[in-house]
Amino acid sequence: MPSSALYNFLSSFDGILFGDKLLEEDDLIAAFSFDCWGTTYLVFPPKLAFWNQLLFVSLIQSVFVAITSGVIYWTMIKPSEQQKSSNKIQNFLVGYGFVIPLCLIYPRFIIQFFGIRNKVIRFAFTAVPIASLFRCAEAMYGFLPPGLDTSFKKYFIYNLIPLEIDIDPKTKSLVKITRSYIIRNILQFLFGFAKVSILLSLLSSRDFIPFQVPSTFTLVTAFHPGRIMNHAIAGILFEQVLSAFAAGLSLLFAFLTGVQIVELMKSAMFSSKSPSDFWGRKWNRFIHSMLKRGVYKPVRRYSTPFLAAVAAFIASGLFHEWILYSIYVIVDSEKDESGKCSSCYYPPTHGKQLAFFVWNAIVVLLEYSIGHFYLFTWVKETFSAAAVTTLVLMTVLPIAHLFLDDYIRGRFFHDLQLAFLIIRPVA
């Protein structure tokens, strides 16, 4: 039967491409060693299998995008304005009844199907469904970026990558790549690869917790210097990892489509001038745009800016909870006879990601409410840029464990090492 043949065809990739489970304890093998200042260092090259699997993930994601884009475009975008006004109920049924549930179910299904165990590869499988989910919402509520309703090809290209497409505001056309754009992204990827390799090499020997901290969390220990430094370093690592992968993905997308991508990160950990600047203009600008069009604007249409902002942060917290739910699934190959995995990291206490983003919603709303007070304007005008950024980060670093702990304790960064060049001293 055709369905059986398709199943067997897809199952074959489990052994061919996903046969290497890319686990640190199995695959982190030194290629050579060298001596420096009386210490021997081991050099672990990046695993080619990791990048092969990532490319195959992109291929699978493109099929998923073709399905969701087709459904969204032909049911919500393509119909005439008159049809759209009479088809709102149909759009909601298609969106909330098919597309969004598919986006939520798909990652865990595909991870289980291929038996994927590397948490970074699992994370990659969540990126496109997140984008498709919010792009479905923006189409349902009529907040599609301008110019994308003119052809399915243009809309498919827009959905093909979990990054923000660069659209010319005047012509409403997709911005074409230039030589300088390609060179800039090549350099960003190479320097990003080097920076992440250095950070992983330095931090892995301490299990990504370089400074000792009190075992209990209280209002006092929240500001423990070790805790603040651990969270700041993990935040910098996260920013550099996302920037490096975004630059590489932008290059692949540029060669396939000839279209530019908006830069994902803008040095949020080193140049933010306020909490709203951090979340709105510097950190993960793609997610900001998705939340703005898919959550903030639809809620703002029926309520206040205050409630719309809260809704956007809550949505962010919920989909980050869903990411953890997806990447820490226990696949069949990990289970013992009792159906459990004694060596696996079982999730995360759900609710911490949501609490983290609710806190940041409060901080941003306070900024808009009292940020114009003399004290805050005086600080901005008097303090150095570095000092202002430090104060901005201090609104989040004391409670950043709510976001970071499950990634660190779940050995997400350990699995990430297989993609980069790691240098370690011999113990």
Give dist(CA 295, CA 305) in Å, integer: 11
Assess contact for 203 and 414: CB atoms under 8 A: no
Assess contact for 154 and 147: CB atoms under 8 A: yes
Assess contact for 92 and 187: CB atoms under 8 A: no
pLDDT tens profile 304-313: 999 999 999 9
The residue type at 306:
F
**In the structure encoding, which two tokens stand for residue 131, read together?**
């984008």
Q: How confident is the model at residue 22 (pLDDT cuts 50, 70, 90)?
A: low
Nearest 5°: CA angle at 16, between 11 and 18?
Answer: 80
Terminal-residue alpha carbon distance, the chain: 57
Give the pLDDT confidence score for residue 82 in this predicted structure: 54
> Beta-carbon neighbour count of residue 323 at 10 Å?
20
The pLDDT of residue 303 is above 80: yes
Assess contact for 120 and 101: CB atoms under 8 A: no
Mean pLDDT of 159-163: 91
Give the pLDDT confidence score for residue 365 in this predicted structure: 94
Give the pLDDT confidence score for residue 339 in this predicted structure: 74
Nearest 5°: CA angle at 351, between 404 and 397?
Answer: 35
Q: How confident is the model at residue 159 (pLDDT cuts 50, 70, 90)?
A: very high
**In the structure encoding, which two tokens stand for residue 84, read together?**
């759209």
Give dist(CA 95, CA 108) in Å, integer: 20
Mean pLDDT of 261-284: 94
Give dist(CA 158, CA 261) in Å, integer: 10
pLDDT tens profile 95-142: 999 999 999 999 999 998 888 888 999 999 998 999 999 999 999 999
Q: How confident is the model at residue 5 (pLDDT cuts 50, 70, 90)?
A: low
Assess contact for 273 and 376: CB atoms under 8 A: no
Percent of the residues in the chain that have a pLDDT greater than 70, as a whole number: 91
Assess contact for 252 and 58: CB atoms under 8 A: yes
Give the pLDDT confidence score for residue 18 in this predicted structure: 60
pLDDT tens profile 319-355: 999 999 888 888 877 777 777 777 776 655 789 999 9
Task: Using the Cα atoms of residue 23, residue 27, residue 29 and residue 31 in order, give the sign of their dihedral.
Answer: negative
Mean pLDDT of 9-34: 63
Assess contact for 263 and 288: CB atoms under 8 A: no
Instruction: Give the chain's mean pLDDT.
Output: 88
Give the pLDDT confidence score for residue 6 in this predicted structure: 47
Give the pLDDT confidence score for residue 216 in this predicted structure: 85
Q: How confident is the model at residue 90 (pLDDT cuts 50, 70, 90)?
A: confident
Mean pLDDT of 419-423: 93
Give the pLDDT confidence score for residue 1 in this predicted structure: 47
Give the pLDDT confidence score for residue 79 in this predicted structure: 77
The pLDDT of residue 84 is above 60: no
Which among 368, 325, 318 has a CA at the least distance from the CA of 346?
Answer: 325
Give pTM, 2 decimals: 0.89
Ranked by mean pLDDT, the top range of 26-35, 223-232, 367-376 is 223-232
Assess contact for 65 and 159: CB atoms under 8 A: yes
Give the pLDDT confidence score for residue 80 in this predicted structure: 57
Assess contact for 21 and 117: CB atoms under 8 A: yes
Assess contact for 321 and 354: CB atoms under 8 A: yes
